[in-house]
Amino acid sequence: MRYADEFRDPAMARTLVGEIQRLAGPLARERARPLQVMEVCGGHTHTIFRYGLKAMLPEESIEFVHGPGCPVCVLPMGRVDDCVALAHDSRIIFATFGDAMRVPGSRGSLLQAKARGADVRMVYSPLDALQLARANPQREVVFFALGFETTMPSTALTVLQARREGIDNFSLFCNHITIIPTIKAILDSPELKLDGFLGPGHVSMVIGNRPYDFIARHYRRPIVVAGFEPLDVLQSLWMVIKQLAEGRCEVENQYKRIVPEDGNAQALAAVSEVFELREFFEWRGLGSIDHSGVRMRREFAPYDAERKFVLPNLTIADPKSCQCGEVLKGVIKPQQCKVFGTACTPERPLGALMVSSEGACAAYYQFGRIDMKQQRQASPLEA
């Protein structure tokens, strides 16, 4: 397969792993602990587990910390409850991406609401939801808008399209969030040990590289904007470690084939036309973070489900036993959580990190429960 296989070449991967090992070893010994590199984006977490990259790297010198970049995972329970309430309104067709359907709220998930008779439809794009509105003029279609800057432009453009066409039975339940304030909140955490970051490739395709300058300048941490193929991740990791070895802290762009330095001006214009920053937004596991979410501007009120419908709008505390927040900040590993694999499994997720395949806990549960290195030594596979 062109444009994919080139980024999965095992020989090149071995070369990169060798280089990473050579540079990271002395740095880890100096610190008397492995270098901690956070991949901010859930897409990277998925690549790391899907291709088994963790098992290829020396665990005594490299440790991935899985960041907050899975929008489904950081959705607080209260917002899920709002979704469920909207979905149970008989006027409403509630349209959502599939991976949001299993996220547990305090009164069940959207999937359970659907089983109880709510009209929940799975869509693959906001335009599919707009099409539902065109096809069902008697009903109200609410699209569950979520995601970082990656998905904001397509939602914004869909709203602009609805306004152009005069479609008045379409609205957004807006849960879009922004990555920069969240990275800043993590960097301000007193428990922080992170040595560097893999920057989110798809977010950066929209916002460009400049918004990360403060990470290098103020917090003195290297960040490399990374692509999502396994060689992208390995090369970006090597670039982070090379910066550390050379005593540099810079924003570098490994994903130049997709990410322009200044982002996508048209996409940003559409986003700022439709959305504005909220004072604060609640994150599951991380609590309230200032300016970390967006809402629709007042002139788009007719398309804003929060203004159009009455929502319960309650703040629901995470289950006490759940340690998603500590996992998100890299303080503990998923399997160190008290309920990992017992009270919290992909079949019955308690914490949000167990829900989406991009969530760190689900990835650990699905792909990483056993020590692959030990296994490889125990039974070598012939080539």
Binding residues (CB under 8 A) for other proteins: these are 1, 4, 8-10, 13-14, 49-56, 102, 124, 128, 230-231, 345-347, 357, 365-370, 372, 375-376, 378-379, 381
Rg (the chain; Cα; Å): 21
In whole angstroms, the minimum distance from the beta carbon of 289 to other proteins comes to 28
**Beta carbon of residue 207, minimum distance to other proteins (angstroms, whole number):** 23
- The smaller minimum CB distance to other proteins, of residues 1 and 32, is found at 1
∠259-66-185 over CA atoms, to 5°? 80
Q: Measured from the CB atom, is 191 or 382 closer to other proteins?
A: 382
Token pair in block for residue 52: 């088994």
Write down the least CB distance from residue 142 to other proteins, Å. 19
37 or 85: CB nearest other proteins: 37
Residue 23, token pair as written in the block: 């540079």
Q: How far is the CB of 372 from other proteins (least distance, A)?
A: 4
The whole-angstrom separation of Cα 203 and Cα 345 is 29
Pairing assessment for the beta strands 170-176 and 140-147 based on DSSP bridges: parallel
Q: Which amino acid is it at 269?
A: A
6/262 with CB nearer other proteins: 6
**Strand-pair category, 120-122 with 223-226:** unpaired
Nearest residue (CB) to other proteins, 138 versus 379: 379
Q: Considering the complex, state which of residue 56 and residue 241 has its C-beta at the smaller distance from other proteins.
A: 56
CB 97 within 8 Å of CB 143: no
**Measured from the CB of residue 126, what is the shortest distance to other proteins in angstroms?**
14
Quote the CA–CA distance of 111 and 67 in Å, as a whole number: 26
CB of 43 to other proteins, least distance (A): 10
Comparison of 52 and 312: residue with beta carbon closer to other proteins: 52
190 contact partners, CB below 8 Å, separation of at least 6: none
Q: How far is the CB of 110 from other proteins (least distance, A)?
A: 13
Cα separation, 52 vs 72, whole angstroms: 23
Beta strand 280-283 with 287-290 is: antiparallel
In the complex, minimum distance from the CB of residue 58 to other proteins, in angstroms, rounded to a whole number: 13
Q: Which residue, 4 or 310, has its beta carbon nearer to other proteins?
A: 4
Task: Closer to other proteins by CB, 106 or 366: give it.
Answer: 366
Shortest Å, Cβ 18 to other proteins: 12
